[in-house]
Chains A and B, each alone.
Chain A
């Protein structure tokens, strides 16, 4: 069990691409930590650098009290679960699980006893003689997890652990993964491009882009007060409405309407400032009658989300999306108003795209 500390960590590939660009942060002992970002943002490279599969170009990395920057992967006491699980196809489940112990020169008897033991905890008993090719995707994932557990690591590293499972199984595996991590209490870092996965699993998460960390925080922090428009549009199952506006007194003029100034930015804006107004579709309320501070528009498209409906409202040149209960679904062509609670909306500076106001916390890495 150990915390992971990065100090000005850089990974530069030949050709000058900086996949990890001067990161400093600490992942706490026992924490379930998510690295989230679009593809190519450097999150997998960072994970591989922690594992030791890539060597850091600059900076230091320590796990627990040990500086592991120059240690080979085998001596870092980390366990990594790969996206394709990387189970050895020529070994059966028991051999796969006990492979780390074989390297550690544990006797055959003890190895298999341990494999039995770990496998049982992961509902793999009875599958010990099978080859990976004879297992389902979920079972393969559990074998990969069992192998990681059997190696008795101080840190778990998961590279897109759920992306190879089909949608329904993914939900089950998600719960399973979280329970496993809670039971073992081992520091876990996982990489994902799926914001829902990161929000659901992580104790804390880091949003990355271009090798830099844009924001670190709890899922709730990142969801309710995203540090920038990029984070705001990346987090959330339906993208946040981000529309340009201008501050006018204690209101913002957006899309031809005047909406109340978001509570978080009161006192932090100046008259006439160009801003970006942000409101999550979930936090917008639909009203067929005129409301104060509402935005008027015409319903163009409705998308069924099951118990709720995502509605696109055409407002002049632009559009705003909001979510209504299935019973209140407006017909396309209907005119009406959407209104947002001031405490649920945000303002971003139009130029720097950073969050304005009291809720804005210092991101761990100051923007370059």
Chain B
């Protein structure tokens, strides 16, 4: 008898304890998540509000609304021009990377050469050097020898060189997944290799190509080092470099200009993501997000 009474009395207590613990755990988790969200959201909020603030500072405040910052930006002779430069460089690199990577990955996927995979891995490993700090002096010398210093072409070539191995690597996976019988079928009906590439392989690898396109644009759009080293005149600078020159006479960062420019700077990339995501859809393919 006693045991049953005890059991009956301890039971609800244990239940309420468990409930309290679960509730505390849940509260704790939400508080933690809240901190994480705030941590990542603050810069974004700053990016959205500061450009419209009369006196932007490196803190978040309710803005007294103005569009003057954008007027100042338009008065700056290099600001809009630099966005155009960024567009030229990144689209140029994208086109080059897409065409070369598509051809190379198709060939590498279809032709058996000994040591092919080793070659790919080596290229992939070494590719980070091309656009990295370590190779900047030789790259600079090379581009100078080629008399390409202070041209967009130089930036496009160097960036494409750095991006190609990874692009080929990712695209080869897509090409490998395209059944050979598709191509053979087209061949039997008389299609030439280029027709097969255009009619069959490229349409099937389209999600992969879209991934590479977005990825290379984003890589170039945000790259500072390569154009900073290879370009001389401010009218050739892309947006990522021109931002570096936005100082007040007093040597302080000109936050009014920087904030407004940052907003303009980020919009094209966001638009590109939305466009590609809508058009092709981002899907998972063999472990590679596409």
B-contacting residues of A (Cβ < 8 Å)?
51-53, 72-75, 78-80, 82-84, 86, 88-90, 99-100, 102-104, 147, 151
Contacts and interface: CB of A to CB of B under 8 A. Distances in A.
Contacts, number: 57
A100 B179 contact: no
Interface stretch (B83-91, B189-197, B262-270): B189-197
A51 B183 CA distance: 13
Interface string B161-198: 00000000000000000010110111111111001000
A181 to B, nearest CB: 18
Contacts of A78: 188
B185 A86 contact: yes
A208 B190 CA distance: 29
14 contacts: A52-B188, A53-B188, A74-B190, A75-B190, A80-B184, A80-B185, A82-B185, A86-B179, A86-B185, A88-B200, A90-B204, A100-B190, A103-B189, A103-B190
B190 A84 contact: no
Contacts of A151: 189
B200 A82 contact: no
The 10 closest A-B pairs by CB, nearest first: A74-B190, A86-B185, A100-B189, A86-B181, A90-B203, A82-B181, A80-B188, A103-B190, A73-B188, A73-B187
Contact of A103 (B182, B184, B195, B203): B195
Residue from the set B185, B192, B203 with the largest chain A CB neighbour count within 10 Å: B185
A151 B184 CA distance: 15
Contacts of B204: 88-90
Contacts of A90: 203-204, 206
A53 B196 CA distance: 14
A82 B190 contact: no
Interface of B: 179, 181-182, 184-192, 195, 199-200, 203-204, 206
A51 B189 contact: no
B229 to A, nearest CB: 42
A103 B191 CA distance: 6
A299 B200 CA distance: 59
A83 B179 CA distance: 12
A90 B195 CA distance: 15
Given A53-B184, A90-B203, A103-B195, A84 B179 contact: yes
A202 to B, nearest CB: 22
Contacts of B182: 86, 88
Contacts of B203: 88, 90
Contacts of B189: 74, 79, 99-100, 103, 147, 151
Contact of A84 (B181, B187, B191, B195): B181
Chain B interface SS verdict (over half): helix
Contacts of A51: 188
Residue from the set B185, B188, B189, B203 with the largest chain A CB neighbour count within 10 Å: B188
Nearest to A77: B190
A103 B199 CA distance: 10
A82 B195 CA distance: 20
Contacts of B206: 90
Residue from the set B179, B181, B191, B206 with the largest chain A CB neighbour count within 10 Å: B181
B113 to A, nearest CB: 13
Contacts of B190: 73-75, 100, 103-104
Given A88-B200, A90-B204, A74 B187 contact: yes
A234 B192 CA distance: 41
Nearest to B182: A86
Nearest to A157: B188
A100 B190 CA distance: 7
A201 B23 CA distance: 72
A51 B181 CA distance: 13
Given A53-B187, A82-B181, 15 more contacts: A72-B187, A73-B187, A73-B190, A74-B188, A74-B190, A74-B191, A80-B185, A80-B188, A88-B199, A89-B204, A99-B189, A100-B189, A102-B199, A104-B190, A151-B189
Contacts of B186: 99, 103
A261 B256 CA distance: 108
Nearest to A144: B185
Contacts of A53: 184, 187-188
A100 to B, nearest CB: 4
B182 to A, nearest CB: 5
A84 B182 CA distance: 9
Contacts of B200: 88
Contacts of A73: 184, 187-188, 190
Contacts of B191: 74, 103
Contacts of B199: 88, 99, 102
A52 to B, nearest CB: 7
Nearest to A75: B190
A240 B206 CA distance: 53
A99 B187 CA distance: 11
A79 to B, nearest CB: 7
Contacts of A104: 190
B36 to A, nearest CB: 40
A115 to B, nearest CB: 14
A87 to B, nearest CB: 8
B272 to A, nearest CB: 23
A90 B198 CA distance: 12
Nearest to B202: A90
B192 to A, nearest CB: 8
A147 B206 CA distance: 24
Nearest to A96: B185
Given A88-B200, A90-B203, A90-B204, A82 B184 contact: yes
A261 to B, nearest CB: 51
